[in-house]
């Protein structure tokens, strides 16, 4: 079993305030975390890796940081709490500027997962509210930032399985982060589906092989990322509106794909279309996608400054 022992936080240092969201296990709160005074040796908040530099920087860092606190309703059901904490076990493995960071957990009841706060909340809502203000370059930048996070996950051989705009949070107007490593654990246990076929799968984001055979790989993450790019360029519109889940696979097998979003550079739509190659092996990998998005971003900034 994985351990997050080093991530145990002193609950007295955490102050939840307003509720900001509802997750599948319980409510999510915004709050503060008072960083413990650094003693000799280990950084009390975590890994102890950088204890020397932490001490050097101790005067520069803030005493109190804003955090997001995920709570779990089913505190007394060991199976549920284990599943709830599984997301923290996954998040602790990652260290990337565009992936929401785990700060720590309180593993005794009531169980809390404390994460870096994305101040501006969910990307879809942000895109809708700011549709008039958001430049084309900014949307491209979001796509590029997410591709760097996904390329990082690819290098770690980690499959996310639920890449969608609803799982992206906004830290600042120029910075988005990948969140929600919840589904990754569910689908890693194939038997989960057979035992609870009622679980809502994100069919409209899924690759044909994921829909047909529940096959999830980095190549199926690539397909989903193509859909996520489409949602971003569409300013938060969901894919296949008005189409029944059961009809999606028929459309895909007929060669149908999501349409060209308004103002989408042709080169970007071509990249998205490659992500939607029926054959998983024909799709580009995230490293390649990241490089291509970088080129598209630069081309766009040259064109828009002319």
* Known active-site residue 247: no
- Give me the least distance between CB of 88 and ligand ATP, in Å please: 11
CB of 22 to ligand ATP, least distance (A): 6
Joined tokens for residue 73 = 């309703």
- Length in residues, the chain: 306
**Angle in degrees, CA 224, 241, 200, rounded to 5:** 60
Nearest to 214 by CA among 196, 201, 204: 201
Of 162, 180, 221, 300, catalytic: 162
What is the chain's Cα-based Rg? 20
Structure tokens that stand for 197 in this block: 């076929």
Phi, psi (degrees; rounded to nearest 5) at 116? -55, 135
- CA separation for the pair 216, 162 (Å, rounded): 10
From the CB of 150, what's the least distance to ligand ATP, in Å? Answer: 18
Residue 121 touching ligand ATP (CB under 6 A): yes
For ligand ATP, the closer CB: 87 or 300: 87
CB of 70 to ligand ATP, least distance (A): 7
| Site membership for ligand ATP, residue 68 (CB under 6 A) | yes
191-210: buried (b, 16+ CB within 10 Å) or exposed (e) per residue?
Answer: eeeeeeeeeebbbbbbbbbb
Q: Please identify, among the stretches 18-26, 234-242, 288-296, 298-306, the one whose residues bind ligand ATP according to the rule CB under 6 A.
A: 18-26
User: Among 31, 104, 182, 236, which residue interacts with ligand ATP (rule: CB under 6 A)?
Assistant: 182
Interface with ligand ATP, residue 115, by CB under 6 A: yes
The answer to whether the beta carbons of residues 89 and 197 sit under 8 Å apart is no
Give the count of beta carbons closer than 10 Å to the beta carbon of residue 153.
22
Q: Which residues between 144 and 173 bind ligand ATP (CB under 6 A)?
A: 169
| Contact indicator for 72, 24 with CB cutoff of 8 Å | no
Residue 65 within binding range of ligand ATP, rule CB under 6 A: no
The rounded distance, in Å, linking the Cα atoms of 211 and 193 is: 12
Please tell me whether residue 66 binds ligand ATP under the rule CB under 6 A.
no
Q: For residue 136, give the 3-state DSSP assignment.
A: helix
Which listed residue (180, 221, 231, 300) binds ligand ATP by CB under 6 A? 180
What is the smallest separation between the CB atom of 125 and ligand ATP, expressed in angstroms? 8
Query: Site mask, ligand ATP, residues 69-108, x = CB under 6 A?
Result: -------------------------------x--------
Q: Which residue's structure tokens are 């602790």?
A: 92
Of 208 and 236, CB closest to ligand ATP: 236
Which residues are catalytically annotated? Answer: 162
Q: Which residues bind ligand ATP (CB under 6 A)?
A: 20-25, 28, 68, 100, 115-118, 121-122, 169, 179-180, 182
């Amino acid at each position: 079993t994985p351990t997050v022992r080093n991530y145990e936080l002193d609950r007295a240092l955490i102050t939840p305030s307003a509720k900001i969201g509802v997750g599948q296990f319980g409510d999510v709160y915004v709050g503060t975390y008072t960083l413990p005074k650094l003693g000799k040796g280990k950084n009390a908040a975590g890994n102890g890796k950088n204890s020397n530099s932490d001490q050097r920087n101790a005067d520069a860092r803030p005493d109190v940081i804003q955090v997001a606190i995920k709570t779990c309703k089913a505190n007394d059901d060991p199976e549920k709490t284990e599943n709830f904490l599984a997301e923290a076990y996954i998040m602790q493995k990652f260290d990337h500027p565009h992936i929401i960071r785990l700060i720590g957990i309180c593993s005794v009841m009531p169980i809390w997962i404390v994460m870096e706060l994305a101040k501006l909340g969910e990307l879809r809502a942000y895109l809708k509210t700011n549709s008039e203000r958001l430049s084309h370059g900014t949307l491209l930048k979001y796509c590029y930032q997410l591709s760097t996070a996904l390329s990082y996950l690819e290098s770690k051989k980690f499959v996310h399985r639920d890449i969608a705009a609803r799982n992206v949070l906004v830290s600042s107007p120029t910075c988005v982060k990948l969140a929600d490593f919840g589904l990754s654990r569910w689908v890693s246990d194939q038997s989960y589906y057979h035992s609870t076929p009622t679980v809502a799968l994100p069919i409209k984001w899924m690759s044909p092989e994921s829909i047909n055979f529940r096959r999830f790989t980095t190549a199926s993450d690539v397909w989903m990322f193509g859909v996520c790019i489409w949602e971003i360029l569409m300013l938060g519109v969901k894919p296949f509106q008005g189409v029944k889940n059961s009809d999606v696979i028929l459309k895909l097998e007929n060669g149908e794909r999501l349409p060209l979003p308004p103002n989408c550079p042709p080169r970007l739509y071509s990249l998205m279309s490659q992500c939607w190659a029926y054959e998983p092996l024909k799709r580009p990998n995230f490293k390649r996608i990241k490089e291509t998005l970088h080129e598209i971003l630069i081309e766009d900034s040259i064109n828009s400054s002319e």
